[in-house]
A = this chain, B = another copy of it.
Amino acid sequence: MKSPQLDKVTIPTLLLDVDRCRANIQEMSKKAARSNTFFRPHFKTHQSLAIGQWFKAAGVTAITVSSLQMAEYFAPEWDDITVAFPVNILEIDRINRLARKVKLNILVEHTESLCFLNEHLTAPVGYFVKIDVGYGRTGLPPQAHQRIEELLTFASSVNLNFKGFLAHAGHTYGCRSEADILAIHEQSRKTMVALKEKYQSRFRELVISLGDTPSCSVAEDFAEIDEIRPGNFVFYDLTQARIGSNTTDQIAVAMACPVVARHPERNELVVYGGGVHLSKDRMDGEPEGTIFGRIARSTEKGWGDLIAGMYLRSLSQEHGIIKGPSAEIEQYQVGDVVLVLPVHSCMAANAMKEYLTLEGQWIERL
């Protein structure tokens, strides 16, 4: 059985299960509401105005992106945008253009960046001080009080407006159990709440913002957290499933890849679908070793369960090599389409120009 929409697939195509995607949006949106925290979803995963409309339908009014280019793309339909990436002062002209159009927030962690902005901004911008809650990628350690103080000297200058503290607990991606995720989340939450308590008397409107998908998917306690910014949950993927953020039947995208060669003697298929489509993101330490995707069973409606033991074992620029049990491999002919659930949906979606819904509609993205 296969979905009639697969007849539209001639090259690697990212299929989107709209029902799953909208259910993921609904679920996260409801969790934010019952946790009394503001939901500012990260749009770097889907990068699509059309999918953005489904967030609007769920009551979302403000978004997060990871580049000024994405902010420009979303600006015609969204007027409150946080660029959750350390401010790149070389893009000052772009920042100024955007800040004239929308309520723009940026992240700052260096006084030198802030001084530069203070001198060159021509429109008001909100800024968050980026805090490193343990991931070790960007941000100030929460105990770096003097450096934090320095970043507050411009807290309410003409075009700079201090908004609060923002963190990304990306170290949850190393977790393999709910308990591990919750431990990191609780630690991050406490760290951020302590900062809030310290600075709230001086900055009444101070916002603390957290936002990795594992924590937001698993945790229920967001007490005192003003804002969450998860992104990947809109599609989820195999990496998130392994962490424990989602079940595989919540994964809302699958790469449809034409079979171009069969090697039953080594239980392999060659598909058109490579690193330029799925990205080279991988999962090490799986039962099969390193994998680049898993294969779902094609159904009339789209796709169903994962096929046990069937996975993408390697990727070249345009080729993918799929391995699986011989009984499964033998069912595929040249010209059939294999459905690959991605290791990392953000990167796979970024590599593609559009989505094909299971209803046969093409959805554009940045």
- Residues on A lying within 8 angstroms of B by beta carbon are 9-11, 44, 66-67, 69, 85-91, 93-94, 109-110, 112-113, 116, 136-138, 170, 258, 260-262, 266, 270, 272, 275-276, 279-282, 316-319, 321, 333-335, 337, 346-347, 350
Interchain nearest-CB distance for A292 vs B (Å)? 10
Are A137 and B319 in touch, CB under 8 angstroms?
A: yes
Known: A88-B10, A270-B137, A318-B66. A112 touches B275 (CB 8 A): no
Interchain nearest-CB distance for A172 vs B (Å)? 14
Contact for A261 among B91, B94, B109, B272, CB less than 8 A: B109
Q: How far is the CA of A318 from the CA of B70 in the complex (A)?
A: 12
Instruction: Report B-chain residues with C-beta under 8 Å of the C-beta of A137.
Output: 270, 316, 319, 321
Known: A44-B317, A112-B333, A275-B281. A88 touches B270 (CB 8 A): no
Q: How far is the CA of A276 from the CA of B275 in the complex (A)?
A: 11
Question: Considering only CB atoms, which chain B residue lies closest to A282 in the complex?
Answer: B280
Known: A69-B11, A88-B11, A270-B137. A317 touches B260 (CB 8 A): no
Instruction: Report B-chain residues with C-beta under 8 Å of the C-beta of A87.
Output: 260
Instruction: Report B-chain residues with C-beta under 8 Å of the C-beta of A170.
Output: 316
Contact for A280 among B260, B262, B272, B347, CB less than 8 A: B347
Are A261 and B66 in touch, CB under 8 angstroms?
A: no
Q: How far is the CA of A110 from the CA of B262 in the complex (A)?
A: 8
Given contacts A10-B88, A44-B318, A85-B272, 14 further A-B contacts (CB under 8 A): A87-B260, A89-B334, A110-B261, A110-B262, A110-B334, A112-B333, A112-B335, A116-B335, A136-B266, A138-B261, A275-B281, A276-B347, A279-B280, A280-B280
Contact for A317 among B91, B94, B136, B350, CB less than 8 A: B350
Contact for A88 among B85, B136, B258, B276, CB less than 8 A: B258
Instruction: Report B-chain residues with C-beta under 8 Å of the C-beta of A272.
Output: 85, 88
Instruction: Report B-chain residues with C-beta under 8 Å of the C-beta of A346.
Output: 317
Q: List 29 A-B contacts (CB under 8 A).
A: A9-B90, A10-B88, A10-B90, A10-B91, A11-B67, A11-B69, A11-B91, A44-B318, A66-B317, A88-B258, A88-B272, A90-B258, A90-B337, A112-B334, A113-B335, A137-B270, A138-B260, A138-B261, A138-B270, A138-B319, A275-B347, A276-B350, A279-B280, A280-B280, A280-B281, A280-B282, A280-B347, A317-B347, A317-B350
Interchain nearest-CB distance for A136 vs B (Å)? 8
Q: How far is the CA of A48 from the CA of B67 in the complex (A)?
A: 26
Question: Considering only CB atoms, which chain B residue lies closest to A337 in the complex?
Answer: B90
Are B334 and A260 in touch, CB under 8 angstroms?
A: no
- Of the listed residues A91, A94, A261, A270, the one surrounded by the most CB atoms of chain B closer than 10 A to its CB is A261
Interchain nearest-CB distance for A277 vs B (Å)? 10
Question: Considering only CB atoms, which chain B residue lies closest to A346 in the complex?
Answer: B317
Q: How far is the CA of A67 from the CA of B44 in the complex (A)?
A: 28
Known: A137-B319, A316-B137, A346-B317. A260 touches B86 (CB 8 A): yes
